[in-house]
Amino acid sequence: MKIVDIELSNHYKVVDDFLSKEKFKHLQSTMLGPDFGWFYNPVIDNDEEEEGKFQFTHTFYRYNKPMSGFFNDWYEILFEPIIGDGVLDRIKANLLTKTPEIIENKLHTDIEPPKKPLTTSIFYVNTNNGYTKFKDGTKVESLENRLVTFPVNTKHTGTTCTDENVRVVINLLYMNYE
């Protein structure tokens, strides 16, 4: 695990090689494999439907309970190392399909209105030319096994990609006691 200096403001923390190679490859091959369940969602940004925009999602944890059979298997591998002694609010994976040009979605916070003590982390499942962009213009490239963490009230957006079939991230919301 290495913390990356990407000339980010002190609001963002980026860590590359977050998981060991073995743990990461297991998680990646499962999520990008044929037996992982993805669900069509006509909404990308805060329950607002936009013509032609959609994503596929997989909810691991919501409403104070596991929502996926993968939750318990991956808790120790990925979720616990991210949240530490914190308290989970939601864990959801997003899959955006390849587009002819990169499409930036709308700036948003993951909860409206944002709950200040919550933290957002985004874990990148595959490398592609998509990115996460923050309101201040900072971009974090989609690099597999990368983790970016920031306060939940930070406006950000994701994009599609043009060089891979899909862009896959796991989005975690939690209360951090650090």
pLDDT tens over the chain, length 178 residues: 555 555 555 678 999 999 999 999 999 999 999 999 999 998 887 666 677 789 999 999 999 999 999 999 889 989 999 998 889 999 999 999 999 999 999 999 888 766 668 899 999 999 999 999 999 999 999 999 999 999 998 999 999 999 999 999 999 999 876 5
Number of H helices, E strands in the chain: 3, 14
- The residue count of the chain comes to 178
Residues paired with 94 in a beta bridge: 57, 169
pLDDT, residue 168, reads 98
Residues 6+ apart with CB under 8 A from 124: 142, 143, 144, 145, 146, 147, 168, 169
- The rounded distance, in Å, linking the Cα atoms of 176 and 128 is 29
Q: Which residue has the tokens 């006509």?
A: 42
Among candidates 122, 2, 105, 17, which has minimal Cα distance to 54? 105
Give the total number of structural domains in the chain.
Answer: 1
Residue numbers of the domain that contains 89: 2-175
pLDDT, residue 2, reads 55
- The rounded distance, in Å, linking the Cα atoms of 129 and 117 is 31
pLDDT, residue 52, reads 77
CA distances from 148 to 15, 36, 42, 70, 101 (A): 6, 24, 25, 22, 24
pLDDT, residue 130, reads 98
pLDDT, residue 139, reads 95
pLDDT, residue 11, reads 79
CATH of the domain at 40: 2.60.120.620
CA distances from 147 to 25, 54, 99 (A): 15, 24, 24
